[in-house]
Amino acid sequence: MDKFYYIGIDIGGTKIKIGVVDNLGRVYHRESIITAENLNEDVVVKNLAAIVNRLQKTFPDIYGVGIGCAGLISHTEGIVIFSPNIGWRNFQLVPKLKALTGLKVVLDNDANAAAWGTFFLNYSGKYSYLMCVALGTGIGGGLILDGCLYRGANGAAGEIGHMTFIPDGPECSCGNKGCIEIYSGTKGILRSAQAKVANNPKSFILKFLEDEKITPKSISLAAEAGDKGAQAIWEETGERLGTAFASVINLLNLQAIHITGGLSLAQEWLEPSINRTIRKRAFDTPADVVDIIFGKQKKDMGLIGSGLLVLGKYQQDLL
Ligand SMILES: [Zn+2]
């Protein structure tokens, strides 16, 4: 395949990152603007168009612009339906940016963009059925099915973090009760740690505080030092994640689950427990073929994945 250049735009709550990437995921240029200074829709479109038009002069072979944005997105219409962190509602981002730049512009949810980038750069040709899971404060997901990014009927697919784990559990930020994210995201893990420490003031977790607070790293360091309570927290987290994964594996017959995010640093404790739970709960036939992979999130994957969205949407034109 010949080399093509894309502009990737990764819109986050703090920064909007803009970069030029090629179809091998190499980044040739990066810059950013502050999200808080670009909340107004006309202002952000004007600023982004100015940057895109400037970059087109330096990189005349730019094929299109891919944008990843947190929130609910209409991929087909190119509209940010609602982005809670940024406050945009029904923002016609793609039509407006297209009009000012004359380029192909594609918009998707940021988790989908990252999943697409991960698949395209690491697994294309190896797996066609993949789920990417980011473990952190939230538990985000993105699905690749039959080699394509799977968005569902109106773009809301892949929300593994909001699968119900305990029907009457605590309320989640999404409004549902007992989502898996409540138990296996950072807050849930810290809640378990607080309970362990309250029951056992000699817990090693208290030896590894950061800024006098318990963090996921405190629990990992205590687990490494042999603290049984800390090890149990990660094992229990792995069991919960494994339970959710087993359901997804039975439903979708995936070839791989790619796990990233801050909490994935506890791989040593999570991995055996996740694998054991999947073997226990999922059917043997799909469980036999699924690889559980702990991967490092490549730096700038949001930006790269966003840029590569153009290649996903317009791939047919390029081949
Ligand atoms: Zn939820």
Residue 5, classed as helix, strand or coil, is strand
Q: Kindly report, residue by residue over 184-233, the tens digit of the pLDDT.
A: 999 999 999 999 999 999 999 999 999 999 999 999 999 999 999 999 99
Triad 260, 265, 270: Cα angle to 5°: 90
CA of 3 to the centre of ligand 1 (A): 41
The token pair at 257 is: 């689950």
Question: Is 268 found in the same domain as 160?
Answer: yes
121 CA to middle of ligand 1, Å?
30
* Structural domains of the chain, count: 2
Instruction: Kindly state whether residue 198 falls inside one of the protein's structural domains.
Output: yes
In a domain, 123, yes or no: no
pLDDT digits (tens, 9 = 90+) for 22-45: 988 899 999 999 999 999 999 999
Q: Give the distance (Å) from ligand 1 centre to CA of residue 161.
A: 6
Report if residue 152 sits inside a domain: yes
Q: Tell me the CA–centroid distance for residue 83 and ligand 1, in Å.
A: 16
> Does residue 247 sit in the same domain as residue 157?
yes
Does residue 103 form part of some domain?
A: yes
If asked whether residues 199 and 108 sit together in one domain, one would say no
Beta bridge partners of 143: 131, 150
Cα 163 to averaged position of ligand 1 atoms, centre (Å): 7
40 CA distance to ligand 1 middle (Å):
29
Say if 273 falls within a structural domain: yes
60 and 150, same domain (yes or no): no
Interval between CA 216 and ligand 1 midpoint (Å) = 21
Which CATH number characterizes residue 274's domain? 3.30.420.40
Do both 216 and 82 map to the same domain?
no
Q: Is 34 left (phi over 0), alpha (psi -120 to 50) or beta?
A: beta
Are residues 172 and 285 located together in one domain of the fold?
yes
Please indicate, yes or no, if residue 100 is contained in any of the structural domains. yes
Asked if the model's pLDDT at residue 80 lies above 60, the reply is yes
Q: Are residues 163 and 288 part of one domain?
A: yes
Q: Based on the domain organization, do 96 and 137 belong to the same domain?
A: no
Give residue 173 CA to ligand 1 midpoint distance, Å.
Answer: 6
Question: How far is ligand 1, taken at its centre, from the CA of residue 270, in Å?
Answer: 22
Q: Is 90 found in the same domain as 28?
A: yes
Let me know if residue 167 belongs to a domain.
yes
Residues 237 and 312 both lie in one domain:
no
Which residues are placed with Cβ below 5 angstroms of ligand 1, an ion? 162, 172, 174, 176, 179
Domain match, 261 and 203 both: yes
Strand partners for 171? 177
Distance 158 CA to ligand 1 centre (A): 12
Tokens 């073929």 sit on residue: 289
Short-list 46, 120, 43, 128, CA closest to 86: 43
Distance from the alpha carbon of residue 179 to the mean position of ligand 1, in angstroms: 5
Range of the domain at 36: 5-118+299-318
Asked whether residue 87 is assigned to any structural domain, the reply reads yes
Distance in Å, CA 37 to ligand 1 centroid: 30
The pLDDT value given to residue 137: 85
- pLDDT band at 298; cut points 50, 70, 90: confident
pLDDT at 294 over 70: yes
Q: To the nearest whole number, what is the mean pLDDT of the chain?
A: 92
| E strands in the chain | 5-11, 15-22, 27-34, 62-69, 72-74, 79-83, 88-91, 104-109, 130-135, 139-145, 148-150, 256-260, 291-294
The alpha carbon of 65 and the centre of ligand 1 are apart by a number of angstroms equal to 31
Q: Do 106 and 152 belong to one domain?
A: no
